[in-house]
Amino acid sequence: MSLGILGAAIACGLAAVGAGIGNGLVVGRTVEGIARQPEARGMLQTMMFVGIALVEALPIIAVVIGFMVLNR
């Protein structure tokens, strides 16, 4: 059982790190795009929120898989 807990913890931790890096890239590129073309701000922000939602799906899936491993 302890290896299952360790595997779930590693999966959740790596997913959180990946999501943090992904969110940083998405937001950084959006700010860069707004700085280059301020008139496209609304469209870029909408696309940013969609991108962040897709990036945040990864840690949620990792937590679900972690719970599945624990309850095996």
| Residue 48 to residue 70: CA distance in whole angstroms | 34
Region 6-16: mean pLDDT is 89
pLDDT at 15: 92
- Domain of residue 22, CATH code: 1.20.20.10
**Domain of residue 13, residue span:** 3-70
Whether pLDDT at 1 is above 80: no
* Prediction pTM value: 0.82
Tens of pLDDT along 14-68? Answer: 999 999 999 999 999 999 999 999 999 999 999 999 999 999 998 999 999 888 8
The CA distance from 13 to 20, in Å, is 11
Residues 53/43, Cβ–Cβ less than 8 Å? no
Task: Name the domain count of the chain.
Answer: 1
Closest C-alpha to 20, from 59, 71, 64, 60: 59
